Chain A
Amino acid sequence: MRTYIISLVVLVATFGAARADRKPSRYVGIHPIPKAQGGGVCHIQAPHIHVYAPADVKLQYRDHDGWSYFVGDPVAYGWDGPKVSYYGHHPVPVEVLIGDDHGHDEYCYLEGPHYHAWEPPSGLSLELRGGAYWYTGDFPAAYVEARPVYDPIDTVYQPIKYERPVVEVSVAPPGWYGAVVVAPAVVAPVEVRPARVQAEVRVPAPSVRVEIAVPTVQIGIGGGIYVGGSHGHKHKYKGKRGHKRGHRHDD
C-alpha cells in the first residue's frame, strides 16, 4: 500500500511538473484555435503566446523568426472579420502583413477558391477578376521546392464544411498559373507561357462530382514539368460555361 501511495505521489508530481513546464507556443497573426481549446479563430494580430500548440503546423503555418504564422483559410474555422477571395496558389508576403522588415515571403498552396484575411499589398502580381485575386507573377524555385511539403494542405480542408468564395473562373487572367485535373489520365489545364492558354473543366450537367485519383501533372515555372501527388480532390462544379460556378466545397 505504501509503495502504491508513493508511486501515485511521484506520478502526480511528475505530471504536474510537466504541465507547469509546458512551453508556450508563439504565434503572429490570426490563427485557428484547436477544438480542444474551444475552437474558432484567435483574433490577435500582434506576436503572442498560447499554452497550446498549432494544429497541422507543418501544412498550415510558416515559421517567422520563431513565431508561427497561419497561411490557411481562416473562414473555414469561423473567422468573421475582413476576408478577401483568392483563387489558386499565390505568394504570402509575411513581412508586409506582419509589419516588420525581416524579408520573408511564403506561398499559399490552397487550390481553387479560398479566403485570407488580408488584402494583397501593392507590388504583388495579384489580379482581381471574377470575384477573386489570381496570381499572375512568376513562382520562384523556393515555391517549387517547397510544394511537395505544403501542397497537401488541401487535405486539411476537405472534411471542413464552409462556404468558399464564389468565383467566376471563366475570366481567369491570362497570366494565371493553375491546374485542374478532370478525370483519371486526363490532365488539364496546361499553361504554357507566354501563350498562357488556360484549359478548364467544362461540365454541362448542373452538378457533377469529379473524383481525382491520379497524380496531377503541371508545368512548373522555370522548372519544367513536375508531377504532383494525388490528393483525392473532389470538386463539385455547378453551372455551365460562362456562368458563375458555385465553388462550394462541401466534400
Chain B
Amino acid sequence: MTDRRRALTTLFTGVVVAAALGCGGEAGGDDATVAAWRKAGLEVSAMTETPAAPYGASACKAGTVSGVDVVLCSFPTDAAAKAAEEAGLGVVGQATGAALAAGSRLLVVADRRKADPTGRTIDAVTRAFRK
C-alpha cells in the first residue's frame, strides 16, 4: 500500500466515523445517556422511537430503566427543551416522576408501576442524565 493510498484510507475512515457520530446525535446524546445509565448499574431496555408531539420535540425515544419509564427528546434549541419541562410533567401525570432539560434535550421519567417507592432509581436516572 502506497503512502497516498494509506492516507486516503485513513481519510475515508475518518469521514465514515464522523458521519456515524453525526447520525447518532450530538455529543452527550441519547447513546451517552444510555451508557451512563448502564454504568450506574441500571438495567436499560431498548430505546424505541415514540411520538414527539406531546412534548413538542423534534424526536423522542422511549424505554424503561430498571422498571421506570423514560423518554428522551431532542429539541432545536436549549430554550425549547427547557420550555417543554411542563409538558413533560403533564405526561408524568399522577405518577411519581420528573421532566428535566439538559441542553437541547429533555428527559421525562415516570414510575407508573410503583417500581421505585423511595425514588432511588429515578434519582440515579436523573443524575446520570444531568452529567
Contacts and interface: CB of A to CB of B under 8 A. Distances in A.
- Chain B contact residues (Cβ within 8 angstroms of A): what range? 10 to 19
Interface stretch (B42-50, B58-66, B115-123): B115-123
Nearest to A26: B89
Nearest to A21: B94
Contacts of A42: 96, 118-119
A50 B96 contact: yes
Given A33-B118, A49-B97, A44 B126 contact: yes
Contact of B98 (A20, A38, A46): A46
B123 A46 contact: yes
A145 to B, nearest CB: 33
Contacts of B123: 43-46
A46 B117 CA distance: 16
Contacts of A241: none
Q: Which of A44, A48, A51 has the most CB of B within 10 A?
A: A44
Nearest to B122: A44
A24 B100 contact: no
A248 B119 CA distance: 29
A44 B119 contact: yes
B96 A51 contact: yes
A46 B114 CA distance: 18
Nearest to A79: B118
A131 interface: no
B81 interface: no
Nearest to A45: B123
Contacts of B100: 46-47
B113 interface: no
A166 interface: no
Contacts of B130: 46
Q: Please name the 9 residue pairs, one residue from A and one from B, whose CB atoms are nearest each other, closest first.
A: A44-B119, A48-B98, A46-B126, A42-B119, A43-B119, A43-B123, A44-B123, A43-B120, A51-B94
8 contacts: A24-B92, A40-B118, A43-B123, A45-B123, A46-B127, A47-B100, A49-B89, A49-B98
